[in-house]
Chains A and B, each alone.
Chain A
């Protein structure tokens, strides 16, 4: 059996939930192929990145709400210099910052799948692609993005 094909090579730093549990629901959500964002039960405002308190109404009453994993490209970069040993020989690659209009326009980071030399357009519509890493302990899932037509 061949190794799973990941956008970036295996051996990159692996995400683990914070020791205090703040972002555990997000990472559990990605395992279930869900994109969960914080939403305040009191004022209904969206929030990302995760925090213990709602920055709008200061309630400690945040839910984790699965949102439709679609957005638009807010910004992007094409990385060429390998800053991590496992990236040597694997550049370039694209990182995208994606705005989620369906979730208060919070922004999410991921890799933009496809040709690493593609022309990237700000505002282009994208959808999430869940990349499960089941061969690590503990397993985890990353959230990438792909341009939709």
Chain B
């Protein structure tokens, strides 16, 4: 039987990386709406976001030759290409897996296509108009269920919050983490949203008292531990590093992307061996290995908040602090721009800017490197995005300014 390459084989003596080869040169989004309130059809939102990203990049939309998305986005690249009059579609990619775990992977897939020569200008996008389709947070109206759902739905274990609460409960038990850790994550997102006019929760500050008094959704998650559900669309434009240098915006170079999950993560009925986890224990080391940076090099982090407990575990698994340090590290002071030790979710993220299925986080990371964030971290050179904790596959990415290369 042939031997299989080890992790060290992969990193040593190979040019198989996207590091420094691709850059994000355009970002754009629609206005963000409360769920069900988008005045436009979902595909029109997608088109608007793509045009906004192209305008930001200073390119003609007809230069696009590829699309990548995730979570079964309903807006098919072939239809988008036809609608936009794109001369030739060269790359069309869907990252498998539900939830927001594919956000960074979609960027990685687009970068891989550019590196491999499949396409030259790839758009990563996500559009959601949940009022026009089924909501995530409510039970689908089916009288019977089978497979994995048969093991959970009849017991009232149905929604994403309910699916993930027991992972977080076990993690908090194992490491004696108190409620203040999740609270700090929620407060940081709301704090940042107050400076961000795009944020759905702009002008709606959250106090620690209001957090503590908010109703339980499912213990250990209170209302403010759970993401919003929103309507809107977001898009990013990726090109090769060579092309990026001549474009309008300061390029955000990809340093690394990693995706996947641990051994038997998807074993049905909550039988993942590494259960009390956000699914990043094997992904994060690969991300750092490709990017060639360490946690202390990271200026600012955008970490997908499906639930604050997922953020907590994903920050631990990306080695920003040990699980047993969570109570001390996760304070509002440590998590806010510009002065915090680890500025987190500086646009307001899924909790308070918009649940754009996480893709607003990639946009915010790019804006941080350009100095265009509404909560800028001075001198930000390396930005991380963590996508969709606790699902499988998950993904995360690191981007940097030119001087990091």
Task: Kindly provide the distance from the CB of A18 to the nearest chain B CB, expressed in whole angstroms.
Answer: 5
Q: Give the residues from 185 to 219 in chain B that come closer than 8 angstroms, CB to CB, to chain A.
A: 215-219
Task: Kindly provide the distance from the CB of B215 to the nearest chain A CB, expressed in whole angstroms.
Answer: 7
| C-alpha spacing A99/B276, complex, angstroms | 14
Question: A83 is contacted by which of B154, B162, B167 (Cβ under 8 Å)?
Answer: B162
Inter-subunit contact B147/A93 (CB<8 Å): no
| C-alpha spacing A80/B219, complex, angstroms | 8
Task: Kindly provide the distance from the CB of A13 to the nearest chain B CB, expressed in whole angstroms.
Answer: 4
- Tell me how many residues of A have a C-beta within 8 Å of chain B: 42
Contacts of B215 in A (CB 8 A): 80-81
Contacts of A81 in B (CB 8 A): 159, 161, 215-218
A130 at the interface (CB under 8 A from B): no
| C-alpha spacing A106/B159, complex, angstroms | 23
Residue from the set B137, B139, B155, B268 with the largest chain A CB neighbour count within 10 Å: B155
B166 at the interface (CB under 8 A from A): yes
Q: Give the residues from 257 to 311 in chain B that come closer than 8 angstroms, CB to CB, to chain A.
A: 264, 267-271, 275-276
Inter-subunit contact B142/A13 (CB<8 Å): yes
B79 at the interface (CB under 8 A from A): no
Inter-subunit contact B139/A83 (CB<8 Å): yes
| C-alpha spacing A108/B166, complex, angstroms | 13
Known pairs A23-B150, A80-B217, A142-B155; A16 contacts B268 (CB<8 A): no
A110 at the interface (CB under 8 A from B): yes
B143 at the interface (CB under 8 A from A): yes
Question: B170 is contacted by which of A8, A19, A51, A74 (Cβ under 8 Å)?
Answer: A74
Mark A residues whose CB is within 8 Å of B: 8, 12-19, 23, 27, 48-51, 55, 74-81, 83-85, 87, 92-93, 95, 97, 106-111, 122, 140, 142, 144
Contacts of B218 in A (CB 8 A): 77-81
Question: A109 is contacted by which of B155, B161, B275 (Cβ under 8 Å)?
Answer: B155
Task: Kindly provide the distance from the CB of B136 to the nearest chain A CB, expressed in whole angstroms.
Answer: 10
Known pairs A95-B156, A95-B157; A83 contacts B137 (CB<8 A): yes
Question: A76 is contacted by which of B153, B169, B216 (Cβ under 8 Å)?
Answer: B169
Inter-subunit contact A55/B151 (CB<8 Å): no
Contacts of B270 in A (CB 8 A): 97, 107, 109
| C-alpha spacing A74/B169, complex, angstroms | 10
Question: B145 is contacted by which of A14, A80, A85, A111 (Cβ under 8 Å)?
Answer: A14
Contacts of A50 in B (CB 8 A): 268
| C-alpha spacing A74/B137, complex, angstroms | 25
Which 5 A-B pairs have CB atoms at the shortest separation, nearest pair first?
Answer: A49-B268, A15-B150, A77-B165, A75-B166, A75-B170
Contacts of B167 in A (CB 8 A): 75
B146 at the interface (CB under 8 A from A): yes
B158 at the interface (CB under 8 A from A): yes
Inter-subunit contact B158/A109 (CB<8 Å): no
Contacts of A97 in B (CB 8 A): 166, 270
B148 at the interface (CB under 8 A from A): yes
